[in-house]
Amino acid sequence: QHLPALTALSPFPEFPYFIHIHAMKVKVLSRNPDDYVRETKLDIQRVPRNYDPSLHPFEVPREYTRALNATKLERVFAKPFLASLDGHRDGVNCMAKHPKSLSTMLSGSCDGEVVWNLTKRECVRTLQAHEGFVRGMVVRFCGTSFFTVGDDKTIKQWKMETPGYGEEEEPLNTILGKSVFTSIDHHQKEGVFVTCGQQVDIWDEQRSSPIRSFSWGVDSFSCVRFNPVETELLASCASDRSIVLYDMREATPLKKVIMNMRSNTLCWNPMEAYNFTCSNEDYNLYTYDMRYLDKPFTVHMDHVSAVLDVDYSPTGKEFVSASFDKTIRIFPKDSGHSREVYHTKRMQHVISIKWSSDNKYILSASDEMNIRLWKANAAEKLGLLAPREKAAVNYSQKLKEKFQHHPQIRRISHHRHLPKSIYSQTKELRVMKEARRRKERNVRKHSKPGSMPVVTEKEKHVVTVVK
C-alpha cells in the first residue's frame, strides 16, 4: 500500500503564517503539578494508582520473587524459643492450664511439688502436694480450685489463691484411694471429675467414693480425658494397647479400639467434637473419628521415638506433640507430617506439653527439670503490630501459600535443622520402612494375584474394634 508523500509544510520560515487556517480540536496532556505533589511537608505523599495490567508487566515472576523472599525471611526470623522456667528440683511430670487466666500455669514434678508459674516467667507458689510423683493435675472449670493426684494414692483439692501470711498450705479436700491414680480430668460444667488408675472412676466433688467405676478387663489405664464439646463423653488409654470410649451416663464403656502398640496420652479436638488424637509408642500419632474407630482418620508420622504427650491448639487446626526423642513437633490436624520441629541441646526427653489458650505459645516440660516457653509460629512477631505491618504479614503469608508448591520455595520452607542423632535416626527408619515395603511388594509379586490384599497404611495400625 502506498502512503502519500508528505503534504507541503511552509518552506519559508520567515513567513510563519500559513495561508490556510486550521480549525481543529486539540488537547495535549498537561498535568497540574498541584494535583500530584503534596502541599506541605506535613501531608502524606500523593500516590495516584492505575491498575492497568499493561503498566505492571511480569506479575507472576515478581510475585514469585516476593514469595521467595518472604520464605527466606521466615527462615531468618524463625526463633521460637522464648524462655526457660526453672525452679523445679526434679523432672516435671505434668502440667495444667488455667481455664480463665492466660498467665497462670501449673506444673507437677516427680518429687511431689506443685509449682505455680506466672508467665512473667517466675514461680509464684510452691507447695508440697504428694510424696512421690505427681501423676496428674487439672484446674476446675471455674478456676477457683485445682485437683492433683499422685503416687501416694491420694486425690487432693487445693485452693487457687495463695494462702495469706502465716496460713499453712492445706488441701481443701483429700481423698484416699485403693490404688495409684495415674491421671485426672474434670468435667467442663458440673462438679464431676474422673480419675484413672486400675479402673476409670467418676467422682462427685462432694462424695469421697466414686459414683461410678468402669473397667474392661484391663489392669491399668494411663490417661483419661473428658470431651470438651460433648461433655458427657470420655476416653481413656489402657495398657492393653487400646483406647476405650465411655459415656458418663451409661453403666458400661461404649467401645474400644485395640492398636498395635500402647497409647500414652490422648487429646480431644476442641473444635470438632468427635475427633481425638492419641500419641502412641510406635513413634506415631493417630487421629480417630470416634464414630468410626476401625481405622484412624490420619496417621501422623515424624517422630523417631515414643510420643509421650499431645495437646491441641484452641483453634483445633493444629496440635503439638512431645516425644521421648527430645523434640517437639507441631502437626496440622489433617496432615501426615509435621510442619515444625523444636529442639534444643539442653532439652532432654519431653514429658508433657501444652498449647496456651491464646494460640500463641507452647509450653514443654522435660525431665531435666525445666519448662520451656516457645512460640507457636516461629517467625511471628509478638506484640502489637502497626496496621501496615499486619498488612505486610498477611500479604507475605498469602504469597507463601500461593507459591508453596514450587520446588525452590518448598525446599526452603521445609528446611529444618535437626540434631545429628535425630537426622540419622530418621534416615535409618526410612530405610527400614522401605525395606519392609519392598519385601511386601516382592511377596505380592510372586504370589497368586489377589491372595495378598493391599492393606493401606491407616488400616495397618488397628487390630480390632470391640463394642
Partner 1 sequence: MFNSIPQKSDPFPGSAPVPEEKLKKFRRGVKGELPPRPQYKLRDVVIRSEAASDLAQKQNARYDLMLPEDAGFLEGDEDEDTCTISQDDIVDAVDITAGAKYFNLTLSQFGPYRLDYSKTGRHLLLGGRRGHVTCLDWQSKQLMCEMNVMETVNDVKWLHSEALFAVAQKKWLYIYDNKGIELHCIRKFNDVLRMQFLPYHFLLATASATGFLQYLDVSVGKEVVAICTKAGRLDVMAHNPHNAIIHLGHSNGTVTLWTPNQREPLVKMLCHQGGVRSVAVDKTGTYMVTSGMDKKLKVYDIRAYRPLQSYFLPAGASCLSLSQRGLLSAATGDIVQVYRDVWGIPVTKPYMAHRAKGSVWGVHFCPFEDVLGVGHGEGFTSMVVPGAGEPNFDGLDANPYRSAKQRQEWEVKALLEKIQPELIGLDPSQLSQVDHSTWEQRHEDRVQVLGFDPLAKEKFTPRLKTKGRSSSGKVEKRKKQVAHEDQRDVIRQTVEDRMKIDKERKEKEKKKAAAAGQKSALDRFRK
Which CB atom, from 6 or from 384, has the smaller least distance to partner 1?
A: 6
Of the CA atoms within 13 Å of residue 336, those in its CB half-sphere come to: 7
Closest contact distance (angstroms) between CB of 65 and partner 1 is: 5
User: Binder to partner 1 among 12, 15, 35, 415 (CB under 8 A)?
Assistant: 35
* Interacting span for partner 1 (CB under 8 A) from 28-36, 111-119, 347-355, 373-381: 28-36
CA distance 188 to 334: 26
Phi, psi of 364 (to 5 degrees): -120, 135
Closest contact distance (angstroms) between CB of 398 and partner 1 is: 10
User: Binder to partner 1 among 19, 24, 76, 455 (CB under 8 A)?
Assistant: 24
Instruction: Tell me if 446 contacts partner 1 by CB under 8 A.
Output: no
Which CB atom, from 121 or from 439, has the smaller least distance to partner 1?
A: 439
Site string for partner 1, 407-436 (x = CB under 8 A): ------------------------------
Closest contact distance (angstroms) between CB of 282 and partner 1 is: 22
User: Binder to partner 1 among 30, 40, 206, 252 (CB under 8 A)?
Assistant: 30
* Interacting span for partner 1 (CB under 8 A) from 12-20, 128-136, 239-247, 325-333: 12-20
Of the CA atoms within 13 Å of residue 174, those in its CB half-sphere come to: 9
Cβ contacts of 85 within 8 Å, gap of 6 or more:
117, 121, 122, 123, 370, 371, 372, 373
Closest contact distance (angstroms) between CB of 247 and partner 1 is: 32
Cβ contacts of 453 within 8 Å, gap of 6 or more:
none
By CB under 8 A, what part of segment 54-113 binds partner 1? 54-62, 64-66, 69
By CB under 8 A, what part of segment 45-64 binds partner 1? 45-62, 64
Which CB atom, from 178 or from 410, has the smaller least distance to partner 1?
A: 410
Helices (H), ranges, 48-134: 59-76
Total number of residues binding partner 1 (CB under 8 A)? 55
For the beta sheet containing 200-204, the strands, ordered from the edge strand earlier in sequence to the opposite edge, are 183-186, 192-196, 200-204, 212-214
Which CB atom, from 294 or from 457, has the smaller least distance to partner 1?
A: 457
For the beta sheet containing 242-247, the strands, ordered from the edge strand earlier in sequence to the opposite edge, are 221-226, 233-238, 242-247, 255-259, 462-466
* Interacting span for partner 1 (CB under 8 A) from 26-34, 120-128, 145-153, 366-374: 26-34
DSSP code of residue 7 = P
Closest contact distance (angstroms) between CB of 429 and partner 1 is: 17
Closest contact distance (angstroms) between CB of 458 and partner 1 is: 13
Residue 316 cell numbers, joined: 483445633
CA distance 219 to 235: 16
Instruction: Tell me if 10 contacts partner 1 by CB under 8 A.
Output: yes
Which CB atom, from 59 or from 161, has the smaller least distance to partner 1?
A: 59
Cβ contacts of 329 within 8 Å, gap of 6 or more:
302, 303, 320, 321, 323, 338, 340, 341, 342
Residue 58 cell numbers, joined: 511480569
> In terms of Cα–Cα distance, which of 339, 316, 315, 317 is closest to 328?
339
> In terms of Cα–Cα distance, which of 205, 203, 245, 190 is closest to 221?
245
CA distance 379 to 412: 14
Residue 407 cell numbers, joined: 520446588
User: Binder to partner 1 among 12, 15, 19, 33 (CB under 8 A)?
Assistant: 33
* Interacting span for partner 1 (CB under 8 A) from 157-165, 212-220, 420-428, 440-448: 440-448
Phi, psi of 265 (to 5 degrees): -140, 170
* Interacting span for partner 1 (CB under 8 A) from 8-16, 150-158, 184-192, 275-283: 8-16
Residues that bind partner 1 (CB under 8 A): 1-7, 9-10, 16, 18, 20, 22-31, 33, 35-37, 45-62, 64-66, 69, 406, 437, 441, 444-445, 450, 454
